Chains A and B, each alone.
Chain A
Amino acid sequence: MAELGESGDVHSGKGKKRGGVRAKKISTRIDMTPMVDLGFLLVTFFILTTTMQKPKAMQVVMPDKADTTKKEEESKIRESEAMTLLLGAENRIFYYYGNEDPVVEATNFKNIRKILINKYQEVVALQRQNGWKQNGVYVLIKPTKDSKFINLVDILDEMKISEIKSFAIVDVTPEEMEMIPK
């Protein structure tokens, strides 16, 4: 940039000697330090205020209450294919298989993944053996009134992680509340 003033010399040849009033050559350099300071201040500000991580959405599909065809389908589920998860207080999970005089067992969110995957494989093997539709295990998720929202999100996430496609969020029955050990 500093050369701009001198480029005229090429055309004027000996013009240097012409007796014009020469402007005093002033330095074109300016002190950029304050500008840099300001620049980086702004950079820091925007880095700190930007939220890079955008929140994500977890899709949920609920059955239509008026739709009775779903209910029929539900009743077609065999005992050996069903599993019920009761979400209790303090991040505890109670689960049982089938429907008739179930044995309720307690677990937590750390161990539920293994249980779900084992049951899924067991059911798939059973379905293959008997030539049933291979839908895997049917999981009924029943959050009790003592559970937190995070429990529901976590268990839905576990369904995704263990690739269980057939699950539903269902209201807990009074009988099931009785089954939860205090």
Chain B
Amino acid sequence: MSKVKMPKSSVSIDMTPMVDMAFLLVTFFILTTKFRPDEPVAVNTPSSTSTATIPEKGVVTITVANDGRIFFDLDNQNSRKSLIEKMGETYGITFTVDQQNAFATGTSIGIPMGSMQNYLNLSPEDRKKVQQPGIPVDSTLNLSNELGVWLINARIAGGNPVILIKGDGQANFPAVNNVIKTLQNRKVLRFGFITADEAMPTDVAQLK
């Protein structure tokens, strides 16, 4: 008895469309991804129903960590270079070109001006390991309120940037208030809080 032979169907399928699609997706994600620069602290921002977007360029971000430490960031590398130069002029410190470049390529900074040179002399790897003490803030207009000085110099160097406060939800209010008061003293009356997205509540109409 002869066996019934099954027709041998090919096991290889044409994968070309699948490959096309896969690489299309890869290209899409490569182009849309923006890698987040590593921040010295992790901040968990509160959420709000605000829909205003953050501009891509020309932003000063003042970070308030949950332990009250303050960090300062200006986004443009060229502006950062002139910012550190101006900061040096204000505090009577001359930064070398290497130090200026080290600052320009960095991100948020929470180092008092007194130890800035030592910090910038470190190698990039060591800089990441440093536990940054935060920028000194008080309620005065003096040089001891370094945040205020950072702010005016950043406004000159950065061409009137948008000023945003990125606060951790669990940061104590006095820490945030120090920043707000400093902004107010320096005549920055319009600023923003960075928040996460949140849907508009649905019970408002009912309550009315």
Contact = CB atoms under 8 A, between A and B. Distances in A.
B174 A57 contact: no
A39 B18 CA distance: 10
Interface residues of A, number: 52
A74 B64 CA distance: 31
A58 B192 contact: yes
Contacts of B194: 55-58
Nearest to A115: B207
Contacts of B35: 49
Contact of B189 (A29, A61, A147): A61
Interface stretch (A93-101, A127-135, A149-157, A174-182): A149-157
A60 B173 contact: no
Most chain A beta-carbon contacts within 10 A, residue among B22, B45, B172, B198: B22
Interface stretch (B93-101, B126-134, B150-158, B176-184): B176-184
Contact of A148 (B19, B22, B169, B184): B169
Contact of A50 (B12, B29, B51, B177): B29
Given A148-B173, A161-B49, A64 B195 contact: no
A121 interface: yes
Nearest to A1: B16
Interface in B165-206: 167-177, 180, 183-185, 187, 189-198, 200-201, 203-204
B164 interface: yes
Given A56-B50, A56-B197, A113-B204, A149 B26 contact: no
Interface size class of B (residues with CB under 8 A): 35 or more
A114 B205 CA distance: 11
Given A51-B36, A64-B187, A160-B49, 17 more contacts: A29-B12, A36-B15, A36-B19, A43-B26, A53-B196, A56-B196, A57-B192, A60-B192, A62-B183, A62-B184, A63-B189, A118-B207, A144-B173, A153-B169, A153-B193, A154-B46, A161-B204
22 contacts: A36-B19, A39-B19, A56-B50, A56-B53, A57-B50, A57-B53, A57-B164, A58-B193, A59-B52, A113-B201, A113-B207, A148-B173, A149-B167, A149-B175, A150-B46, A150-B170, A153-B195, A157-B48, A157-B198, A160-B49, A161-B200, A161-B201
Interface of B: 12, 15-16, 18-19, 22-23, 25-26, 29-30, 32-33, 35-36, 45-46, 48-54, 64, 164, 167-177, 180, 183-185, 187, 189-198, 200-201, 203-204, 207-208
